[in-house]
Amino acid sequence: MGGGSRPGTPSSNISGGGSGSTGPKPEAVSIEIVSGTAMLSIGCKAFFEKDGEIRQAEILSIRDKAKRQNIQRTADDAPIDNSDGTVEYEFYVHYVEFNKRLDEWVVDTRARLDKPVTFPKKKNKATITGSQQSVRDKRRKTNIGGSVATGSIPQTPEAIRHDDSVYTAPVETFSKEKEIEKLRTQGSMTQSTSEVARMKNLNVIEMGQYQVEPWYFSPYPLEYAYTPTLYICEFCLCFYANRTQYSRHRTKCTLQHPPGNEIYRKDDISFFEIDGRRQKTYCRNLCLLSKCFLDHKTLYYDVDPFLFYILTKRDERGCHIIGYFSKEKESADNYNLACILTLPQYQRMGFGRVLIQFSYELSKAEGKVGSPEKPLSDLGLLSYRTYWSEILVDVLVGYDGEISIDELSHITSFTTQDIMHALFNLDALRYYHGQHCIVLSERVVESYERFQKKKHRKIDSGCLKWSPKVFSQAELRYL
């Protein structure tokens, strides 16, 4: 397309930020108008067309459209001579202020070069070293001479209301190289949207009659990751790089349901319980698949400490997986759920609510209160907030008399913290005559009445054939 050579770091025309400011130092950037897509480099922010709109996006990788080979992985790579304009580029972009699941490869014709492009400035090595030393000095001063408050903050309603860190992922510092090594060798990593696994490595996944586009990176083996389509058996979850291998497998695969005990069946819906220690291959394949759609999932190899509950839909060919949740065999924090996923082809059908309700039915059978493991994904938190609110309103609308938070916890098997979180989300807590009261607004009641008129999938506790498992010390000793 555009002529000229693409420099590794473009020259600065307009510098971001002014002098004399007392606030935080802005990120060093340069802004300029470029003449062609050959001028774009890794890390710059340009404008691209997306669904009829013009959106700013950060370029994460660049490749030759014809050869499908990466041209530049970092801004420090040598520039490519494209003076004759023979190379057509594709850019892997992340749309600014949008979720990572929308990241995609775009052709160079979608770039809007009439808009300004923001380039990151190269940082001086001496400056970086100096800033790192100043951070270390600050930490040292804080640890030695600074006053640090100790003790836990009381869990008052206001504290719970504003304690978003309980439900969101913490920001951590780490080494990118170490995390990638952990990902490949141990199957565990600290997910970071800014450093590790920023690019999706799968284009399309085919499961049964559905083709699904993955949302996030998943650590499939390299020989499978960059194929045009990854074929996955919907019964055993084995994966194949081409249709011939997949078709041969389907003629030999005799599995028609997940390899576990069926503990629930009603109509065409079934739940299967699988021990991660007994069915390692299936559970590892399940975790690899779920990583395609969960940004914060950190474990795919060490499945021994978990039980997996698979939601399936039956037809004449077998039990097709809809979604699942996992649960620790022994949880020190009384978590009743570690990871939850509804596959994209079955989303917006009420199955997420079924999975959540089933996890609390198991907690009721155990005689315990439970809560999902934190942090939750964005869709997970939204689903849980909705479910908690619906159940609490259902209990309160039909209740006559006084009721305490502990009594609500006993009825619903929710933790008191999750109940307070849901009530604040409903804006249902009021302070009246020296005590806190639960008041449901007309808006909440009207929303509940509309919800009741709709048909919803519900778990029938009478169809659950399950008793709590008790594991010995030998069974909990994971090698």
Residues known to be catalytic: 373
Helices 378-397 and 442-453, packing angle to 10 deg: 100
CB count in 10 Å sphere of residue 358: 21
The amino acid occupying position 11 is: S
CA 91 to chain centre: 23
Task: Round to whole Å and give the CA distance between 290 and 286.
Answer: 6
Task: Round to whole Å and give the CA distance between 305 and 327.
Answer: 8
Quick one: CA dihedral 219, 220, 222, 226, positive or negative? negative
CA 438 to chain centre: 33
Task: Round to whole Å and give the CA distance between 412 and 369.
Answer: 8
Distant-in-sequence, close-in-space partners of 300: CB < 8 Å, separation ≥ 6: 187, 188, 218, 219, 284, 287, 288, 291
In angstroms, the Cα distances linking 365 to 62, 221, 455, 464, 466 are 53, 40, 26, 9, 8
